[in-house]
Amino acid sequence: MTKELLLDLAEYLATNGYGVATGANPTICRTILPDSPDSCVAVIDYPGTGAFTNDAVNRSIQILKRDAEYETARVAIWGIFNLLDVPEKRIIYLPASRWSIITTRNPPFWLKKDESKRTIFAMNLGVVTHRDE
């Protein structure tokens, strides 16, 4: 099992064609949205609601998708939304056998254009899963 939820989510997105999660030049980044590359995904955690049970926690995750082209960013964030928000399949196994119950807190939304005129979309998730090690 991987020890970090953000890495597990990044690898799951990479496995499903949304970029590269590891190596020298990742396009799926954790905790930040870097200045480059222009086209990238960020997986960021923010305060959740604490313990769900003794061995599970309810985490809050924001996913950002940035691209120089509005439509490319929009299509990708909706693809990620549809990958993670499957009402008839709430338990998703991320890489390394991490079980997760993922619920979207909102549909994807346009967030802003950054200082380089690149479009950023965002979405927020609730993830119930086991504790990181």
Q: Give pLDDT, residue 104.
A: 92
Pairing of strands 40-51, 28-30: parallel
> Does residue 54 surpass a pLDDT of 80?
no
Task: Read off the pLDDT of residues 79-129 as tens digits, 9 standing for 90 and up.
Answer: 999 999 988 888 899 876 788 999 999 999 999 999 999 999 999 999 988
CA atoms within 13 A on the CB side of 72: 11
Mean pLDDT, rounded, for 35-48 = 92
Domain ranges within the chain, ordered by starting residue: 5-130
Tell me the whole-structure pTM to 2 decimals. 0.91
For residue 64, the SS3 value is: strand
User: Domain 5-130 falls in which CATH fold?
Assistant: STM4215-like (3.30.2000)
